[in-house]
Each structure stands twice: as C-alpha cells, then as structure tokens.
Structure 1
Amino acid sequence: MPVGMPEFVENPENRCPVILLLDTSGSMSGQPMQELNRGLAAFKQDILKDSQASLSVEVAIIAFGPIVKLMQDFVTIDQFTPPILEVNGLTPMGAAIEYALDFLENRKQTYKDNGILYYRPWVFLITDGAPSDSWESAAQRLREAEAQRRLLFFAVGVKDADMNTLKQISPPERLPITLNGLDFREMFVWLSASVKRVSSGKVGQAVALPAVGWGQITS
C-alpha cells in the first residue's frame, strides 16, 4: 500500500513548482489588473493542453499589497482556479519575497517527505511599482538561493515599475524584463511553454527556454 499524502499517492509524477508573486497594490488598479486576471486564465488553459505538464506543474499565488497574502496554495493545474485579484494599498515586496522563499522551502520538504522528485522551482514576480518596505535582505537571500540552484527567479516590470530596484533584486545572470504594454497573456503563454518544456525532461536536466517576445530585458 503506498504511503504518503493522498495527492502524491494518486499522482506520483515529478513536480515543477511555480510561485506567482503578484503585485496587487493600488497602482495596479483598472486595466493592468484586468489583463493580469485574463493572463492567469490563459496560463491554466495552455498548460491543460499538455497531459504531462498537467500532472507535474504546481502553481501557488502570493499577492502583496497592502499585505502579503497566500491566494492559492500549491495545486496541480487541473485543480487551479485562477483567483480574481483585487488591488489596494502599498507594495510590501521585500516581505513578499521572504514569504515566498519560506513557503517554497516548506513545499520542497513536503515533496521529500513523500518521495516526490521535483524540478528546479520557479518564482515569478510581477510588479508595476517600487517596494514600500525594506527589501535588501530578501534580495540577498534570493540571490543566494539562485546561485545554489535552489530556484529560478524572474522579475517582470509593468508600466512604471522601478526597474533599477528590480535589477538589484534579480540575480545578475537573469535581468528583469519590462513587459510590452499590458501583454500579460503572451507572458503567461511563454511561462506555460517554458514549464511544459521543463516537465517533459528529466529532473536536473538543462532546458532551453523559448525566446522572450513579450518584453524587453533591462540592461
């Protein structure tokens, strides 16, 4: 009789965890948030087209603004219902990154406890502003985790995002990307294509990601 949490007994496939770290501060109100919500729906639909990715990709959503809040715990994509995000308040980006790193470590331990292999996790941050809290220690911790190959971090700046700060937060080998307009849908389709490539390979295998056609890399 298999031993472990029911979700892993029923689906023992390798996991590809993705944390979406989303800015829901007041400046994202209106069309930006509408397009972000549409992008999340497109992300789910695109991954569902791939039977292997549907079993492997796990998504969690952490929103920040005015507080850091877990909007969606890790679930496979068939169980994922994109939340309707609402906006308010400031941009506690530093606290959100710290929360995401702790949350991810807990999930990785759960995989290990249940004998589940996992691909290098993704943390995908989207913001249109600047941190309203202290972020330096969070950035250092994030860069160390990236250097130790414990995660892949991507930062995406929307509209008037503080790209200089995002450059200081991001690992030097993966500079932040400025989104073309509000093209969240294309960004999420790219993310879907990327994690589908990852989930079709072996754990630890290097995978070439699709070209970024939805934004400009900040140099």
Structure 2
Amino acid sequence: MANRPVHFIWLLDTSYSMQGAKISQLNYAIREAVPEMRSVAHDNPAAQLLLRTMTFSTTARWHNLAPVPVDDFTWQDVTADGVTALGEALHLVARELETPPMPQRALKPVLALVSDGVPTDDWRNGLKALDATPWGRKAVRVAIAIGEGDANRDVLQEFLGNPELRPLDANSPRQLAAAIRWASTAAVKAASQPLAADGDPLTKQAAYAPPSLPDDDEDVW
C-alpha cells in the first residue's frame, strides 16, 4: 500500500457562459481547496495524491498534463471562452486512464466534472470511451452543476454512472466553494481506500454521502 497513487483530475467547463463571476469564483474555490487537499493527503499516508486539470471550451486541453504531487501543486487560473466540447475532454481523459500510462497498483482515480452548460459535441461517445477503460470504470466520480437551470443535469447524471449519486447544485459563490471543497476532500478520502477487488476491472465505485450545501438568498446565478 505504500505510496499508491491517487490521480485526481479536474474536468472544468471554461466555455463562454462561465465568463465573469462564475470563472472567477471557480478559480478562487479550487485555489482555496488545495491546502485542504494536502491535509487529507497527509492523513492518508498510504496514498500519494497527484493532481492535474483538464479544461474544455471550443476544444479540450490539459491545463496541466503531468500529474503533480499535491504538496507541489500551485493552482494556475483558467479563463473562459468558446463552446462546450465535453466529449473531446472525456476522450482525452480516457487515454490517460489506460494502463499504461496508469500504473497497475494505483488506487481509484477521482474525476471531478464542473459545468454550467450543455455539451456541443458528441459527449456520449466520449463517455463511452471513458467507461471502456478499467480505471474509468473504477473512478470515484463527482459532478458539480453551476447555475440554477444552466447546466444539463441529465448529462452530469450519466457521467456519474450511478443512480444513487446526484450532481451537486452550485447556484451561488458560497455553494460553489462548498461543493469544490467537498469534492476536493471527501472524494479523495473515498478514493484513498483500497479497492474491494483490485483484480476486477469492472469494480464500480460505491455510493458516497453528498454534502448539504449552504442556502443562499443572494448572489444566485
């Protein structure tokens, strides 16, 4: 178990509709969550937490492709423009969840998808590619819907791949910060547990208890 890696990947919607307060608050929330991720990692010494970020707008691209140990990770702000190529993003992530490049003795990866819109490409084909990889099937998946009525919750639900799980609704800056903080910590804790069946590539993630996000009467998106 010593130093078995947990790969945590943010998949961030940086399309035009995220411009302004949404993208600003997303950058702030992730930057503020990194120290808490370090704390969780230190509490789980058998796991080595490695972070990276994928953004998707008109095209999908790695914001940082090489996995970075959480103690060395510094958040670099993302910007928003373009449309919503979620399918392309899922394809790119799927390539990284093959073995190799993923090591055989890793712990479950974490895939945290954040979006405020509707995919503009073939996202189902991208999700199929992700689900076809052993590590994609094992992954702890979290989905955050930004903006009341903005994000396509049906897409996020299918990404989760588990009827017992639900996307988190982040309809204000406070709710987004709480959702990011939870995804950054609770999901890492879940991923840091040994797999129930390490040799079974079809192992599905167990359901986890989502947080109670704060109610907001002001600054609702």
2:211 is matched with 212
1:146/1:184 Cα in 2 relative to 1: closer, same or farther (>3 Å)?
A: farther
Cα separation, 1, equivalents of 2:160 and 2:134? 9
8 Å contact from structure 1 (residues 180, 215) kept in 2: no
Letter of the 1:184 counterpart: L
Deviates more, 1:85-94 or 1:200-209: 200-209
2:62 is matched with 70
Matched, 1:90 2:83: yes
SS at match of 2:138: coil
1:165/1:197 Cα in 2 relative to 1: closer, same or farther (>3 Å)?
A: closer
1:140/1:45 Cα in 2 relative to 1: closer, same or farther (>3 Å)?
A: same
Q: 2:142 aligns with which of 147, 151, 154?
A: 154
2:178 is matched with 186
Q: How many residue pairs are counted as aligned between the two chains?
A: 200
Deviates more, 1:93-102 or 1:155-164: 155-164
Letter of the 1:213 counterpart: S
Cα separation, 1, equivalents of 2:136 and 2:185? 25
Residue 103 of structure 1 and its aligned partner are, at CA, apart by: 1.8
Cα separation, 2, equivalents of 1:141 and 1:23? 19
2:190 is matched with 198
Q: TM-score scaled by structure 2?
A: 0.77
Gaps of 5+ in 2: 198-204, 216-221
Residue 184 of structure 1 and its aligned partner are, at CA, apart by: 2.4
Residue 18 of structure 1 and its aligned partner are, at CA, apart by: 1.0
1:86-125 superposed matches below 5 A: 86-105=79-98, 109-112=101-104, 117-125=105-113
1:60 is matched with 52
1:22 is matched with 12
8 Å contact from structure 2 (residues 14, 81) kept in 1: yes
2:31 is matched with 41
Gaps of 5+ in 1: 1-11
Cα separation, 2, equivalents of 1:57 and 1:77? 6
1:130-171 residue CA offsets vs partner (Å, 9 max, x unmatched): 011111212233445589843222222111112233334441
8 Å contact from structure 1 (residues 53, 195) kept in 2: no
1:60-105 residue CA offsets vs partner (Å, 9 max, x unmatched): 1000012211011311111111111111111101111111111232
